[in-house]
Amino acid sequence: GLNTMKTRTLYVPEHAARQIIKDFMPRVKPASIEAMIDVLDNKLIASEAAAKHRVTHQSLSKNLKTFENLVYKITNYPV
């Protein structure tokens, strides 16, 4: 289920992460995108990134989970 993905460490290069967010999560605000990038690429923990960019920890966690699920689906898509 979705909850098992919590501990999965995911590395997506920044340029790819930004493109995925732009294409598949168009409603995410710029500050939230920067917070996501800080977690995904700059090794900040979610609570630090949320505080730094003044977004809620809850929304950041939700966005990260959505992003991880997207990437997981993309990388495991049967070709």
Please report, to the nearest 10 degrees, the dihedral formed by the alpha carbons of residues 64, 31, 44, 24 taken in order.
Answer: 30
Q: Which structure tokens are listed for 25?
A: 């999560």
Q: What is the pLDDT of residues 33-45, one digit of tens each?
A: 999 999 999 989 9
Q: Which structure tokens are listed for 32?
A: 């939230």
Please tell me whether residue 78 adopts helix, strand or coil conformation: coil
Q: What is the pLDDT of residues 51-74, one digit of tens each?
A: 999 999 999 999 999 999 999 888
pTM of the model: 0.84
